[in-house]
Amino acid sequence: MKQLAAISVLLVVCAGYSHGADECVKCHQLLGDKPTQLFKKDIHASKGISCADCHGGNPKSDDMERAMSKAAGFIGIPKGDAISEACAKCHADEATMKSFGSALPVNQWKFLQTSVHGKLAVTGKEHIAQCTTCHGAHGIVSAKNPASPVHPLHVVKTCATCHSNAVYMRSYNPSLPVDQMEKYRTSIHGMRNAKGDAKVAECASCHGAHDIRSAKDLKSKVYATNLPATCGSCHSNAEYMKEYGIPTDQLEKFSSSVHGIALLQKHDLGAPACNSCHGNHAATPPGVESISKVCGTCHALNADLFSASPHKRAFDDLLLPECETCHGNHEIVAATNELLGTAPEATCGRCHSEEDNAKGFQAAALMRLLADSLESDEQRAQRLVDEAEQKGMEISEAKYKLRDARQARLEARTMVHAFDSEKFSEVIGKGLAVASTVHGEAHAAVDEYYFRRFGLGIATLILSVLVVSLYLTIRRIEKKQQKATVL
User: Where does this chain bind other proteins (CB under 8 A)?
Assistant: 392-397, 445, 452-453, 455-456, 459-460, 463-464, 466-467, 470-471, 473-474, 477-478, 481
Burial-class residue 73 by CB neighbours within 10 Å (0-12, 13-18, 19+).
exposed
The alpha carbon of 241 is separated from its chain's Cα centroid by a whole number of angstroms, namely 22
| Residues 54 and 135 sit within 8 Å (Cβ to Cβ) | no
Q: How far is the CB of 395 from other proteins (least distance, A)?
A: 7
Instruction: Give the separation between CA 254 and CA 249, rounded to whole angstroms.
Output: 8
Q: How far is the CB of 455 from other proteins (least distance, A)?
A: 8
Q: How far is the CB of 380 from other proteins (least distance, A)?
A: 21
Radius of gyration, CA atoms only, the chain: 40
Q: What does the DSSP 8-state code read for residue 48?
A: T
Specify the length of the chain in residues: 487
Instruction: Give the separation between CA 388 and CA 378, rounded to whole angstroms.
Output: 15
Nearer to other proteins, 268 or 448 (CB): 448
Sign of CA dihedral 11, 13, 15, 17: negative
| Residues 368 and 412 sit within 8 Å (Cβ to Cβ) | no
Nearer to other proteins, 94 or 478 (CB): 478
Instruction: Give the separation between CA 54 and CA 56, rounded to whole angstroms.
Output: 6
Instruction: Give the separation between CA 61 and CA 132, rounded to whole angstroms.
Output: 28
Q: How far is the CB of 474 from other proteins (least distance, A)?
A: 5
Instruction: For residue 59, give the nearest of 25, 22, 33 by alpha carbon.
Output: 22
Nearer to other proteins, 96 or 481 (CB): 481
Nearer to other proteins, 247 or 455 (CB): 455
The alpha carbon of 293 is separated from its chain's Cα centroid by a whole number of angstroms, namely 20
Instruction: For residue 19, give the nearest of 69, 49, 68, 60 by alpha carbon.
Output: 60
Q: How far is the CB of 473 from other proteins (least distance, A)?
A: 7
Nearer to other proteins, 40 or 452 (CB): 452
Q: How far is the CB of 459 from other proteins (least distance, A)?
A: 5
Helix, strand, or coil (residue 303): helix
Residues 6+ apart with CB under 8 A from 371: 337, 340, 409, 412, 413, 416, 428
Instruction: Give the separation between CA 272 and CA 263, rounded to whole angstroms.
Output: 7
Q: How far is the CB of 461 from other proteins (least distance, A)?
A: 10
Nearer to other proteins, 62 or 441 (CB): 441
Q: How far is the CB of 390 from other proteins (least distance, A)?
A: 13
Nearer to other proteins, 240 or 471 (CB): 471
Q: How far is the CB of 487 from other proteins (least distance, A)?
A: 17
Nearer to other proteins, 33 or 394 (CB): 394
Instruction: Give the separation between CA 276 and CA 297, rounded to whole angstroms.
Output: 9
Instruction: Give the separation between CA 468 and CA 216, rounded to whole angstroms.
Output: 80
Nearer to other proteins, 76 or 455 (CB): 455
CB-CB neighbours of 210 under 10 Å: 20
